[in-house]
Each structure stands twice: as C-alpha cells, then as structure tokens.
Amino acid sequence: MSVYVAQFLSGGALTQWAAYWPPLTVLEPWRMMTAVFVHSDSSIFHVLFNGYSLYILGTLLERLIGPGRFVALFLLSGFGGSLAVLWLAPSTAVVGASGAIFGLFGALFVIQRSFGGANRQLVIVLALNLAMGFIVPGISWQAHVGGVLTGALVAWILVRTRQGDRALARRAQLVLVGAGLVAATVLGVLL
C-alpha cells in the first residue's frame, strides 16, 4: 500500500518509471520485475484485490513452503507473467502483481494436488479470474497465464525436492527456471 501512496504522491511518475512495456526490455529489463510492485493508479480496486489475494494465498503458501521459497515463487511468477506479456502482447504496457498472484494460485493447485487435496473450488476461482482477463478490458490475461504456469512449475519443483537432502537440487532447479525465463526474454527481444 505504501508503494501505491508513493505512486499517487509522485503524480504518476513512479508508475511511468516502473511499468513494464516490452519495447523497453532491451534498455530497461528491470521493468519486468518493478511492474509487479506498482498498480494502476486509475482504480484503487486493483491494488486492494491484489493485496487481499496476496494476504490470503501468501499466508497459506508461506506456511506450507517457508518464507524463502515463497519469495522465490512470487518473484519467479511475476517474471513469468512479464515474459508472457513480452511474447503474447508485445505492444502492451502492464502494471500490477496479478501475474505473481496467479503464480500463487498455480502453486497452490500443484501443492494441493500432490498431497491429495481437493482442488475443485480453487479451479473454479482460478477459471473465473482467468476468464475476467479475457472479458474485462485493461486486464492482462497474458500476465495471468504466464504467472500461473510459472507458479505451477516452481511448485512442482518444490514438491519434488521437499526432503531436506534435496535442498541443493531444489536450488539448482529454481536457478534453472530463472535462467530459462531470462533466456526466453532474450529470445523474445531478438525475435
């Protein structure tokens, strides 16, 4: 919320500086991540919805996977969301944590499924939110899809390597996911 207040006080300058616009990827690649932390200043509902979702999903997932893994999940999912925008909507500027939030949905799905949990309600909520991205203008369905796929992949790695003796393998695989996202970004810029 403090970033949202700073956006408001800056008169939009912070939003302009941090928003992700794919044509700037070569010169300002950090925007792929900074966009996750700023939100549309035209509606407070954007930041409130993402904040509420982060609180609900984040609290649950942080308890399940631990704080360090949660940060990795959130950041990689946000990056995956920006990458999908680069590939699928290369002329669209985006802001918001929605890609990262959808990554949390994807991770929760994989984790629940791996432990035999029921996913019906989660699938309904996820499907409704994904559908909104295709129906409501100004919502980046591309970031949502990229985030959910990246979050699911990260969770799959975390579930497969959850035993203590697999910590090195877990770290290596998460680094490979990050490297893969960077490589796909470079390829997207070159094409």
Q: How far apart are CA 191 and CA 186, in angstroms?
A: 9
Torsion of CA 6, 11, 15, 16, to 10 degrees: -150
Cβ–Cβ < 8 Å for 19, 140: no
Determine how many CB atoms are found less than 10 A away from the CB of residue 88. Answer: 16
User: Which residues are bridge partners to 94 per DSSP?
Assistant: 20
Which residues belong to the active site? 98, 144
Task: List, as one string, the DSSP characters of 100-148.
Answer: HHHHHHHHHHHHHHHTT---HHHHHHHHHHHHHHHHSTT--HHHHHHHH
Region of residue 12 (left: phi > 0; alpha: psi -120 to 50; beta: else): left
Task: List, as one string, the DSSP characters of 15-82.
Answer: HHHH-B-GGGTTT-TTHHHHGGG---TT-HHHHHHHHHHHHHHHHHHHHHH-HHHHHHHHHHHHHHHH
